[in-house]
């Protein structure tokens, strides 16, 4: 990965299901009851925040677990229940004053393709849909929910040195 590109990144956008989690949804009689997040992904997120890279979550689903995990990690920009992720991304870029050429995203499935087309560095997790892998500039070796976010964070930090 070009260090010139990674040095420019000021905003990292994360999908949740299939990226921050393994993509499985756990339902009880009252609806979704839990999500499992990888602890190393959290360490990576804190590291990029510490390096001055803003982190945002854009997810198609709504989950109280995501709100709590984001708060734990210091992620201030959380957008859930998004039908049009690309529009939400454009609004977030404008709100933060970040150019699309200074943004990266980590995604896993075809609803994320429009977001991938906007950012300079679209990253697919290892087990992403084939169309997402084809559209990515980088593919992690780790699967979603299994350290892929940490891998992307490490790449961004390593590219700054």
Domain residue spans in the chain? 3-158
- pLDDT, averaged across the chain: 94
**What percent of the chain has pLDDT above 70?**
98
Question: Does residue 54 have a pLDDT over 90?
Answer: yes
The predicted structure's pLDDT at residue 85: 96
- If residue 54 lies in a helix (H) or strand (E), which one and from where to where? strand 54-58
Q: Which CATH superfamily is domain 3-158 in?
A: HAD superfamily/HAD-like (3.40.50.1000)
The predicted structure's pLDDT at residue 4: 86
**Higher-scoring residue by pLDDT: 102, 161:** 102
The predicted structure's pLDDT at residue 88: 97
94-97: which pairs have CB atoms within 8 A and are 24 or more residues apart? 96/11, 96/54
Question: Does residue 33 have a pLDDT over 80?
Answer: no
| Beta strands 11-14; 138-139: pairing state | unpaired
pTM of the model: 0.94
The helix/strand/coil state of 123 is strand
In this predicted model, what pLDDT tens digit does every residue of 57-112 receive, in sequence order?
Answer: 999 999 999 999 999 999 999 999 999 999 999 999 999 999 999 999 999 999 99
Residues 6+ apart with CB under 8 A from 128: 18, 107, 108, 109, 136, 139, 144
76, two tokens: 């201030």
Question: Does residue 1 have a pLDDT over 70?
Answer: no
């Amino acid at each position: 990965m070009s260090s010139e590109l990674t040095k420019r990144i000021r905003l990292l956008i994360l999908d949740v299901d299939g990226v921050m989690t393994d993509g499985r949804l756990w339902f009880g009689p009252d609806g979704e009851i839990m999500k499992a997040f990888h602890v190393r992904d959290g360490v990576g997120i804190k590291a990029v925040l510490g390096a001055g890279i803003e982190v945002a979550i854009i997810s198609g689903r709504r989950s109280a677990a995501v709100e709590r995990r984001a708060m734990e990690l210091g992620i201030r920009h959380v957008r859930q229940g998004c039908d049009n992720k690309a529009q939400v991304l454009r609004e977030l870029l404008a709100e933060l004053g970040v150019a699309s050429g200074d943004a990266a995203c980590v995604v896993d499935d075809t609803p994320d393709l429009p977001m991938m087309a906007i950012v300079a560095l679209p990253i697919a997790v290892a087990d992403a849909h084939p169309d997402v892998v084809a559209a990515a500039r980088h593919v992690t070796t780790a699967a979603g929910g299994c350290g892929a976010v940490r891998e992307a964070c490490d790449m961004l930090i390593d590219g700054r040195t």
